[in-house]
Amino acid sequence: MHISDGVLSAPVSIGGYAVAIGISALSVRKMRMEDVPKVSVITAVFFVTSLIHIPIGPTSVHLILNGLAGVVLGWSAFVSIFFGLILQSILLQYGGITAIGVNACIMGLPAFVAYGIFRLRLIARFRYREAVFGAMAGAVAVLLAAVLLAVALITAGEEFLSIAKLAVLAHIPVIIVEG
């Protein structure tokens, strides 16, 4: 679920960087020093799981784990995902340097939603609430990431509309697995 260099227009790429850097600054501000090892481990898990690609039709998908990052890290999830994407782009050539900001927003913003969904378990009063809200957080995070990916691709032009639809459909199994 990475947008490559050259797909997005310059204003979209620059806007993505501006939003990603702004949210990262807020995320780092809220992070405590004792959270750094936990953020590092989740970043490593996020990075490593992207290496396992599963072919689906003409494309392939991989686990995203942005919901897990949101549930475990809360506000620090965005920084974890942002740095994981930087490493993926530089070391593995996944995505592109110009698209890192947009890719971080595509995967990082749903992590915040997952965090919010998982916090709802605190007001619920039933036996398996952690499992239910954890599953919803994981599934919704991937679904939102797929939708944001589709929206970003559509900004690149109408020729990307069919790819945007395919990207969302290809991630249905990932939504189920991560849920």
The highest-confidence range among 7-16, 59-68, 103-112, by mean pLDDT, is: 103-112
**DSSP tag of 4:** P
The CA-CA-CA angle for residues 167, 68, 108, to 5°, reads: 55
- In the structure, what pLDDT confidence band is assigned to residue 75 with cuts at 50, 70 and 90? very high
Q: pLDDT tens, 108-143?
A: 999 999 999 999 999 988 999 999 999 999 999 999
Q: Are 164 and 3 in contact (CB under 8 A)?
A: no
Percent of the chain with pLDDT over 90: 64
What confidence tier does 1 reach under pLDDT thresholds 50, 70, 90?
A: low
